A and B are shown apart, each in its own frame.
Chain A
Amino acid sequence: MKLLIKLSKMREDIKRRLRIFLEGSKKSRKLVKTPKYITAYDPKIKRRVVHVVRNGVAVSLVTGNKFRYSKYG
């Protein structure tokens, strides 16, 4: 049981470290003014189309496909 708890803690720690490695720590990240619209690749129609950005999520205006849009530069 103890081993399981230890393993889960280790797992959480690895996740945290990996996130910092990929995205940077909270202190180092800088907020960037997000545009209302962006153009990005839509995998459903295999084409670049306009996406609307709301609450950190970009939504394709053609298919409604969503992806996370980082507020940090």
Chain B
Amino acid sequence: MVKENSEFEYLKTSLLSKEDLQKRIEKEKKKSFLSSLFIIHGYMEAILVDWFNYCGKGRPKEISDEIQKGIERIGFISFIQLHLSMGNISQELYARMKKFNTTRNDLAHGIRDINFESKKTQKGLGRNIQEGIKIYSELFDSYQKSLDKQSEKFLTDTEGKPFVLGKSKLG
């Protein structure tokens, strides 16, 4: 039975798709190379965390908030290692993501004076951004595959038949 939409506040948004990222980066690139690099990293991390819900047998309903928060606190490198061990990402993608993360960490936490106005730095950052977008698109494709697999589980019973809807309050 479908629950009434009015009972809960459903904020519906689309996924963090490749196209969304590219559009956002194109805008952000004009302002700052560095922030666009961080945005890509954030998108990757968001997908890596969310992916745990849909791979394998799926997330059990009984997981407590404490466990969920613990999962979200796992570092980026540990996340990609876990996904590699589960077979979600390839060895090659793992290596590329690790390299991307090292560059990002260097820029975010490293104590060094970087001249962002020099063309050489801008070129290097631009290359890293392009690489990041490529990595993200590959990551998103494999993420969507596991979403497709998971959605089959929930849609097999009702495939071809309309969903049984609960009686609306409006009739």
- The residues of A with any CB-CB pair to B shorter than 8 Å are 12, 15, 18-19, 22, 35, 37-41, 43-50, 52, 54-69
* Residues on the A chain within 8 Å of B68, using CB: 47
Task: Give chain A nearest CB distance to B10 CB in angstroms.
Answer: 5
* A61 and B61 contacting across the interface, CB-CB below 8 Å: no
Chain B residues whose CB sits within 8 angstroms of the CB of A56 once the complex forms: 163
Can you offer 12 A-B residue contacts whose CB atoms are under 8 A?
Answer: A15-B170, A18-B170, A39-B13, A43-B3, A45-B63, A49-B53, A52-B154, A52-B155, A57-B165, A59-B154, A59-B155, A61-B54
With A15-B170, A52-B155 in contact, do A62 and B5 touch (Cβ < 8 Å)? no
Bound form: Cα–Cα A45–B61 in Å: 7
Q: Is B66 an interface residue (CB 8 A)?
A: no
- In the complex the two chains form, is A37's CB within 8 Å of B2's CB? no
Residues of B within 8 A of A (CB): 1-5, 7-15, 50, 53-54, 58-59, 61, 63, 65, 68, 144, 147, 150-151, 154-155, 158, 162-163, 165, 170-171
Q: B154 contacts A64, CB within 8 Å?
A: yes
Instruction: Assess whether B61 is in contact with A40, with CB atoms less than 8 Å apart.
Output: no
Q: How far is the CA of A55 from the CA of B9 in the complex (A)?
A: 21
Check A38–B58 contact: CB distance below 8 A.
no
User: Could you tell me if B12 and A40 are in contact, using CB atoms closer than 8 angstroms?
Assistant: yes
Do A37 and B58 contact each other (CB < 8 Å), given the known contacts A49-B53, A57-B163, A61-B147? Answer: no
- Chain A contacts for B9, CB-based, 8 A: 41
- Starting from the known contacts A60-B154, A61-B54, A61-B154, 18 additional A-B residue pairs (CB-CB under 8 Å) come to A15-B171, A38-B13, A41-B9, A41-B11, A43-B8, A45-B63, A49-B53, A50-B15, A54-B155, A55-B163, A57-B165, A59-B155, A61-B58, A61-B147, A67-B5, A67-B8, A67-B10, A68-B2
